[in-house]
Amino acid sequence: MDLLEYQGKQLFARHGLRVSSGEPVTSVEDAVAAAAAIGYPVVVKAQVLIGGRGKAGGVKLAADESELREHAGNILGMDIKGHIVRKIWIEHASDIASEYYASVLLDRSAKLPLVMFSTEGGVDIEEVAEKTPEKLIRHHVDALQGLSRDEALQIATDGGADADIREGVADALVALYEVWLEEDATLAEINPLIVTPEREVKALDSKVSLDGNALYRHPENQGLSDSENEDPIERRAKEEGVQYVKLDGDIGILGNGAGLVMSTLDVVAQAGGSPANFLDAGGGSNAEKIKQAVDLLLANDAVKAVLFNIFGGITRCDEVATGLIAAFAEIKPSVPFVVRLDGTNDVEGRRLLQEAALPNVHAAKTMNEAAEMVVALAAGKSVGAGA
Amino acid sequence: MAVLVDENTRLCVAGMTGREGSFHTLNNRNYGTNVVGGVTPGKGGQDVEGIPVFDSFEQAAAEAQPNTAMIFVPPRFAADSILEAAAAGVALVIAITEGIPAHDELRVYNTLKRDYPGTRLIGPNCPGILSPGRANVGIIPASFFKAGNVGVVSRSGTLTYQIGNEIAQAGFGCSSIVGIGGDPVPGSSFVDVLDLFEQDPETELVVLSGEIGGSAEEEAAQYIAEHMSKPVVAYIAGFTAPAGKQMGHAGAIVSGSAGTAAAKAQALEAKGVRVGRTPTETASIAVEVLGGASLAAS
């Protein structure tokens, strides 16, 4: 779960990291009120979960109220790579002497926490890593001991932080590690971590991803993320506990098991189609669950045909067929379906479907055949005999 | 032979008294797995169809000598349950539970490494391990598989059944099917299981089924080039997955430009591993390498 900049900064502040005072607002009038309280000059920052905000014109400095009105008015409602700006963050502008970079993340390969630090902040860190790797310190931390103050100071020193602010950088690294650990984050990144002319070390930006599986330990974090910009179908799926990801195509996809569904998307794409979603219906096969999944899938108006791909393991295909027939009776979908039932009790499942003679439902035996059929149907072509 | 689970397995199941836990435990026993006990705190002394329930792994270890544990408890209790099994001296822990926080997995992985190096963890968020004809620990539907010489290691359950079933239809069987799970910090990675298959005299070919996220497939490619004498055939799922979106499994996510399916397939192919474009093609390649008839003829 990715947090907006200001949400990440609020987490930072809770753990003692220095950030500028600011306020999230949704209107020009509120922005003016916030700036009056904070004091000019202020920075107006678009709150969207996408990089490149500055280049898109979503970050502006305002010296006074008239500039603030102009910038806030322009940025609110702006479309940044498909993300509509509904919220802006107003913060007191900082003077910058140096821009550093700091992050803590879960290194899946080493299976350890990884602290990274560089004095080359404010730019794309992947570029620094590629072009001048010697300027990016990568330090693995003992997962059971945590990051010590001495270790953090060593990282600051090795990374070439100015001598007079090494202690400040070390404090920031320790606090950032604490954010990562105690908030169950998988990533906590500051780019840039700035040094002010007064030699203060401060987080000017934030990028934080929280582990959705750990939210039960953090009820206070549950309302975070960019829920206003979330796709409405994805949001509904989350509320219903269904694994659903919206994509830009026109073929609805539903299957059992995350790996099989990912594979189904690929096979459909290889057959020339364009998947409209990822939907893992899980192990269940009862009518209620299938109906819920089909409902979700059809909530996307772009869907022109649906591929239902089941490989029955513990899930029995005859139960899936029964569930599907019951779900269809209620939903009465208007787009064609291709149903591929394979695995446990597949013959019986296909027989049930055939007997039910659901309108516009086509049976397929293999994944490849099913993919070809659904691609043809989505393109408005007809396929062989229906189920 | 086979790897990890077989006739010598003595299984103890944490969470056996739950609905899912009891269903799958009994399924495993029906298959022939020797289930020696279960662990549910506070329910010691009860039984599930004759399988004794203990209050702790320590007690189970003393009274039933399990060498394998299966974890079926809810996510918030799973990490402690795994470590409790390890502390009781259980050599193999198979964690089925889905939804364990990543930080818990990190703590478990590093605690096992430091304090219990004799315990191997498979999973979490995995379907378990099946050695056809010998033992089944977990939720893999055994009916699709028969004994043979193909080793399967996979991050996904249903995809494993899909590929395994096609290989079986072509007349080949499996030594063991190992689900390593779809989470960010699995207890065992592809490399660990490839090493076991390399040492297993019965296994002649390994099918590796990977997916987006992390770099376990790239590490496997390197390992295969340096250490494997047996052929490996691979499949990677998630070519169409957009960056930054979690595709069902907690670990199946492309982060920036890292962890893409294309990069994984390239890494494997660069080391001479053949990668199927579809599950069916993957099974076909495996069958071809084994010298079998083409799948189309089956």
Domain-located, residue A15: no
- Look up residue A69 and give its two tokens: 């009105």
In this complex, the residue of A186, A255, A367 whose CB is nearest that of residue B279 is A367
Contact: A368, B249; criterion CB under 8 Å: no
Domain-located, residue B94: yes
> How confident is the model at residue A384, as a pLDDT?
63
Question: Which positions of A are annotated as active-site residues?
Answer: 101, 189
Domain-located, residue A383: no
Model confidence at B294, in pLDDT bands (50, 70, 90)? very low
Suggest the residue from B98, B161, B254 to mutate for an interface test with chain A (most A CBs closer than 10 A). Answer: B161
Domain-located, residue A149: yes
Domain-located, residue A111: yes
- Its domain, for residue B149, covers 141-293
**Under a CB-based contact definition with an 8 Å cutoff, are residues B223 and B211 in contact?**
no
Contact: B240, A126; criterion CB under 8 Å: no
The larger pLDDT score, comparing residue B160 to residue A307, is at A307
Query: Alpha carbon B271 to chain centroid distance?
Result: 24
User: For chain A, which residues score pLDDT lower than 50?
Assistant: 386-387
Domain boundary among B122, B157, B183: B122
Domain-located, residue B109: yes
Contact: A111, B106; criterion CB under 8 Å: yes
Q: Is B101 on the interface with A (CB under 8 A)?
A: yes
**Rounded to a whole number, what is the distance in Å from the CA of A70 to chain B's nearest CA?**
33
Domain-located, residue B129: no
Residue among A369, A258, A284 nearest B99 (CA): A258
Q: Which residues of A touch B160 (CB under 8 A)?
A: 259
In this complex, the residue of B110, B159, B216 whose CB is nearest that of residue A144 is B110
Q: Which residues of B touch A181 (CB under 8 A)?
A: 103
> How confident is the model at residue A230, as a pLDDT?
79
- Average pLDDT over chain B reads 94
> How confident is the model at residue A156, as a pLDDT?
97
Contact: B240, A266; criterion CB under 8 Å: yes
Domain of A46, CATH number, reads: 3.30.1490.20
In this complex, the residue of B158, B182, B245 whose CB is nearest that of residue A313 is B158
Contact: B159, A313; criterion CB under 8 Å: no
Q: Which residues of A touch B240 (CB under 8 A)?
A: 247, 262, 265-266, 268-269, 275
Domain of A319, CATH number, reads: 3.40.50.261
Distance CA A354, CA B81 (A): 47
- Are B276 and B174 found together in one domain? yes
Which residues of chain B from 121 to 180 reach within 8 Å of chain A, CB to CB? 139-141, 143-144, 154-162, 165
Q: Is A267 on the interface with B (CB under 8 A)?
A: yes
Query: Alpha carbon A222 to chain centroid distance?
Result: 15
Number of domains composing chain A? 3
Number of domains composing chain B? 2
- Are A74 and A182 found together in one domain? no
Contact: B240, A265; criterion CB under 8 Å: yes
Domain-located, residue B106: yes
Domain boundary among B92, B122, B152: B122
Distance CA A363, CA A384 (A): 10
Q: Which residues of B touch A209 (CB under 8 A)?
A: none
Distance CA A282, CA B54 (A): 31
pLDDT at B32 over 90: yes
Contact: A262, B114; criterion CB under 8 Å: no
CA dihedral B143, B144, B147, B149 (to 10 degrees): -160
- Are B111 and B146 found together in one domain? no
- Look up residue A175 and give its two tokens: 């606090």
- Are B108 and B214 found together in one domain? no
- Are B146 and B256 found together in one domain? yes
Domain of B25, CATH number, reads: 3.40.50.720
**Under a CB-based contact definition with an 8 Å cutoff, are residues A39 and A25 in contact?**
no
Domain-located, residue B225: yes
Domain-located, residue A387: no
**Under a CB-based contact definition with an 8 Å cutoff, are residues A167 and A74 in contact?**
no
Neighbours of B65 (CB within 10 A): 13
- Are A169 and A264 found together in one domain? no
Q: Which residues of A touch B21 (CB under 8 A)?
A: none
Q: Which residues of A touch B140 (CB under 8 A)?
A: 313
pLDDT at B1 over 90: no
Contact: A263, B237; criterion CB under 8 Å: yes
Pairs across A and B, CB distance < 8 A? 169
- Are A253 and A206 found together in one domain? no
Neighbours of A40 (CB within 10 A): 15
Contact: A343, B161; criterion CB under 8 Å: yes
- Are B23 and B164 found together in one domain? no
- Are B258 and B196 found together in one domain? yes
- Look up residue A78 and give its two tokens: 């702006």
Distance CA B33, CA A206 (A): 51
- Are A338 and A272 found together in one domain? yes
In this complex, the residue of B101, B114, B245 whose CB is nearest that of residue A144 is B114
- Are A246 and A361 found together in one domain? yes
In this complex, the residue of A2, A111, A257 whose CB is nearest that of residue B158 is A257
- Are A84 and A110 found together in one domain? no
**Rounded to a whole number, what is the distance in Å from the CA of A352 to chain B's nearest CA?**
22
**In sequence order, what E strands does B10-125 have?**
11-14, 35-39, 47-48, 51-54, 68-71, 92-95, 120-122
- Are B96 and B165 found together in one domain? no
pLDDT tens-digit readout, B140-155: 988 889 999 999 999 9
Domain-located, residue A4: no
As for the ipTM of the complex, it is 0.92
Domain boundary among A54, A75, A92: A92
Domain-located, residue A291: yes
* pTM for this entry: 0.93
- Are A29 and A102 found together in one domain? no
Cα separation of the two ends of chain B: 28
- Are A181 and A103 found together in one domain? yes
Model confidence at B62, in pLDDT bands (50, 70, 90)? very high
Domain-located, residue B127: no
> How confident is the model at residue A43, as a pLDDT?
97
pLDDT at B252 over 60: yes
- Are A168 and A68 found together in one domain? no
Instruction: Determine the Cα angle at A23 with ends A18 and A27, to 5°.
Output: 155
pLDDT at B98 over 70: yes
Domain-located, residue B135: no
Q: Which residues of B touch A144 (CB under 8 A)?
A: 107, 110-111, 114
CA atoms within 13 A on the CB side of B188: 26
Q: Which residues of A touch B104 (CB under 8 A)?
A: 214
- Are A287 and A254 found together in one domain? yes
- Are B204 and B76 found together in one domain? no
Contact: A262, B241; criterion CB under 8 Å: yes
pLDDT tens-digit readout, A215-269: 999 999 988 876 767 788 998 998 888 899 999 999 999 998 899 999 999 999 9
Q: Is B19 on the interface with A (CB under 8 A)?
A: no
**Rounded to a whole number, what is the distance in Å from the CA of A56 to chain B's nearest CA?**
19
CA dihedral B124, B130, B135, B141 (to 10 degrees): 100
> How confident is the model at residue B248, as a pLDDT?
86
Distance CA A256, CA A263 (A): 11
> How confident is the model at residue A284, as a pLDDT?
60
Domain boundary among A92, A122, A140: A92
Contact: B209, A213; criterion CB under 8 Å: no
Contact: A256, B184; criterion CB under 8 Å: no
**Under a CB-based contact definition with an 8 Å cutoff, are residues A247 and A273 in contact?**
no
Residue A208 DSSP one-character state: E
Distance CA B69, CA B91 (A): 8
**Under a CB-based contact definition with an 8 Å cutoff, are residues A122 and A191 in contact?**
yes
> How confident is the model at residue B170, as a pLDDT?
86
Q: Which residues of B touch A278 (CB under 8 A)?
A: 241, 245, 247-248
Domain boundary among B122, B155, B180: B122
pLDDT at B255 over 90: no
- Are B181 and B89 found together in one domain? no
- Are B107 and B206 found together in one domain? no
**Under a CB-based contact definition with an 8 Å cutoff, are residues A381 and A356 in contact?**
no
- Are A304 and A353 found together in one domain? yes
Strand duo B51-54 + B47-48: pairing:
antiparallel
**What SS3 state is found at A24?**
strand
Structure-token match 């039933």, residue found: B64
Q: Which residue of B has its CA nearest to A342?
A: B162
Which residues of chain B from 204 to 233 reach within 8 Å of chain A, CB to CB? 209, 211-216, 219
Q: Which residues of B257-281 are buried (b: 16+ CB within 10 A; e: fewer)?
A: ebbbbebbbebbeebebbbbebbbb
Distance CA A241, CA A89 (A): 31
Residue among A297, A196, A284 nearest A251 (CA): A297
**Rounded to a whole number, what is the distance in Å from the CA of B200 to chain A's nearest CA?**
26
- Are A131 and A25 found together in one domain? no
- Are B37 and B150 found together in one domain? no
Structure-token match 């099913």, residue found: A370
> How confident is the model at residue B298, as a pLDDT?
38
Domain boundary among A162, A191, A221: A221
Domain-located, residue A69: yes
> How confident is the model at residue A233, as a pLDDT?
93
- Average of pLDDT values for B272-285? 94
- Its domain, for residue A171, covers 98-221
Which residues of chain A from 209 to 228 reach within 8 Å of chain B, CB to CB? 211-214, 216-217
